[in-house]
Amino acid sequence: DIQLTQSPSFLSASIGDRVTITCRASQGINNYLAWYQQIPGKAPKLLIYAASTLQSGVPSRFSGSGSGTEFTLTISSLQPEDFATYSCQQLNDYPFTFGPGTKVDLK
């Protein structure tokens, strides 16, 4: 099975900060990498797919990059509604594993 790790696990930031979250895969995943945002008590929301493609309706301050085994999610200027947990997911092979998540909190 492909394992995903995320760093950091927890991140304190302020409004307007640039935030970067890293997701590493245990083997190459051909850019079949998605990012999700989850607010407590709500379902996850797809932000990025194919490593760098912004899902329709997602603000342009979110961006994804990377290839092979290392990927990043960047929020260019953190907004109040962005305080949430962010998880990556690989869809290169079954089982479709998720990363453990990164919680972004207010500093």
Residues lying near other proteins in the complex (CB under 8 A) are found at: 1, 32, 34, 36, 38, 43-46, 48-50, 53, 55, 87, 89, 91, 94-101
Output 52 or 69, the one with its CB closest to other proteins.
Answer: 52
CB of 10 to other proteins, least distance (A): 13
Non-local CB neighbours of 32 within 8 Å, separated by 6+ positions: 50, 51, 90, 91, 92
Dihedrals phi, psi of 29, to nearest 5 degrees? -125, 20
- Which residue has 């342009």 as its token pair? 60
Output 82 or 102, the one with its CB closest to other proteins.
Answer: 102
Output 16 or 94, the one with its CB closest to other proteins.
Answer: 94
CB of 94 to other proteins, least distance (A): 4
CB of 15 to other proteins, least distance (A): 26
Residue 38 CA: distances (Å) to CA of 19, 20, 44, 50 = 16, 16, 4, 19
102-106 and 10-13 strand pairing: parallel
CB of 53 to other proteins, least distance (A): 8
Output 24 or 45, the one with its CB closest to other proteins.
Answer: 45
- 19 by DSSP, 3-state: which? strand
